[in-house]
Structure 1
């Protein structure tokens, strides 16, 4: 007989999505998740990779959720990424431990050797970090979150920067304006992969197919094409990336009411000209013209060049996000 005041079960899709999204938003208020976004992420899961979800139900209401699956950013058959979230009103009842144990059992049967998750130094994550550390998880990587509000930035201070960049035969063109380019998606897919080779992530990135990448990136309803810019050099005609030599994207978290920067990068051949900075300024100006708002960005600790650039633009550090890892079966 189950003496626990809650039960664990697999979710019913899509019926449970609204309650799952509510639990996740309550547990992680700095990154709220809508029902629509959760549904989109679920639909975009790569069927070639393993993924499983467990919910905890109490008194007819979902109060906890856990997920674990292959780390599709750094895929290895034995490596998994996941997380456990419990509604703040339902904590200290063994719900998180029960979900965690079941997730561990499931991936253990699959021969998992390494698990990864993320947590921040915000106050609402303190208990979660303690939960992980008591179970042997260790911090393996740090990523810094910074933010600025366009209302607090003198965008005219960057006039010379934009003029200098564009005087060098480079145009800063929005993704929206490039929608008529039949090669846009293919060029950006190749450019994204090329740029990520120089991002200090602490692991080797797994390349996604063009179809999967477009689905996750360019077709993401959170993406704001009119606020995302590509550096186009008409003198370049690379067989893979065409005239695209850099880009920066801006998305919007509707529940949180803030924008966030995705990839920002420039090809090695065009670095040292202020182009990455100009791409971000172009996005900031476009956002300001559209009414302004708060922008958040995330940079890995070793990426000092980008961190310094963001500080120069006016971004201020707000949080540290830790990547935790757990080695299983005696793995070093």
Structure 2
């Protein structure tokens, strides 16, 4: 048995997507998105997608890069997944080691990694010097069961639009995304200040469904949104739901997400997924109202390079 770690190639896309589907089925992705993400990575991220092979078969992958949107320099990430049928064969260890070497060379001092909250996964991380930090929940909602709550009434003064309505000028959505992202709970904060980069990484993302992405507009200005990504077949995931500071506590997050989910069901999608920081009680409460159920927990771990 020979384990090899190398750079991702476009012909690996289907096998790499299969690793994700098997290891973490709550993520919604496609081979096309994987190829696109590699091709359109911001150079400032020093992004690499590594794959692990055993006897020529792709059995693992690591998404690796610098958190270049963070206000704290030196922060990086390495998210490693191995197909469950090939655990314990050395692929994960080699992926982690190769990822850390790349990040150290790129100037990283801290590496963050999401780890499924299962004994084997946490022990793997701890043996390699990673310390547990905050946790997050994966949640699932069955759309085919027709159990969505009725649509909330749209308040006076609020207009609902879709992202498609902003195709000629998406800059107001960038401003909305930037404000809400800055307040998102995380160990690694993000400051969105690169509009051109956002146009590529977010607005141009092939998984973004602009017709299902719903925006609440107040006095002509976007005040809340929920970004919908799909696999264009049956699965829907919430990329982000956010409300500007001036309009929080008014039910707008529930409003935009309700309309997006109802649109998704009408479009024939059958499963909805989302993820929430364990400390984000307001959004967890909103998702509980919709009927989402927790299906897994991840724990973010960190390792300081050069220690241990």
TM-score (norm 2): 0.87
From the superposition, tell whether residues 299 and 26 of structure 1 become closer, same or farther in structure 2 (CA, over 3 Å). closer
1:202 aligns with 2:180: no
Match in the other structure for 1:251: 229
1:289 aligns with 2:266: yes
| Equivalent residue for 1:265, pick from 237, 242, 248 | 242
| Bigger mean CA offset, 272-281 vs 82-91 | 82-91
From the superposition, tell whether residues 102 and 310 of structure 1 become closer, same or farther in structure 2 (CA, over 3 Å). closer
Query: Match of 1:261, SS?
Result: strand
Give the drift of 1:36. Answer: 1.2
Could you tell me which runs of 5 or more consecutive residues in structure 2 were left unpaired when the two chains were aligned.
Answer: none
Equivalent residues of 2:28, 2:236 under 8 A apart: no
1:142 aligns with 2:142: no
Cα distance between partner residues in 1 of 2:120 and 2:33: 26
CA distances 1:1-39 after superposition (whole Å, capped 9, x unpaired):
xxxx31535336323334333334333333364321110
What does residue range 73-92 of structure 1 map to in structure 2 within 5 Å? 73-74=69-70, 76-92=72-88
1:175 aligns with 2:175: no
| Equivalent residue for 2:58, pick from 62, 66, 70 | 62
From the superposition, tell whether residues 290 and 209 of structure 1 become closer, same or farther in structure 2 (CA, over 3 Å). same
Query: Match of 1:15, SS?
Result: helix
| Bigger mean CA offset, 45-54 vs 134-143 | 45-54
Query: Match of 1:176, SS?
Result: helix
Equivalent residues of 2:115, 2:298 under 8 A apart: yes
From the superposition, tell whether residues 162 and 178 of structure 1 become closer, same or farther in structure 2 (CA, over 3 Å). farther
Could you tell me which runs of 5 or more consecutive residues in structure 1 were left unpaired when the two chains were aligned.
Answer: 237-242
Match in the other structure for 1:118: 114
Equivalent residues of 1:8, 1:99 under 8 A apart: no
| Bigger mean CA offset, 268-277 vs 188-197 | 268-277
Match in the other structure for 1:153: 147
TM-score (norm 1): 0.81
Give the drift of 1:53. Answer: 4.3
Q: Report the number of matched residues.
A: 307
Cα distance between partner residues in 2 of 1:57 and 1:317: 32
Equivalent residues of 1:72, 1:206 under 8 A apart: no
Equivalent residues of 1:70, 1:76 under 8 A apart: no
Match in the other structure for 1:189: 174
From the superposition, tell whether residues 191 and 19 of structure 1 become closer, same or farther in structure 2 (CA, over 3 Å). same
Match in the other structure for 1:326: 303
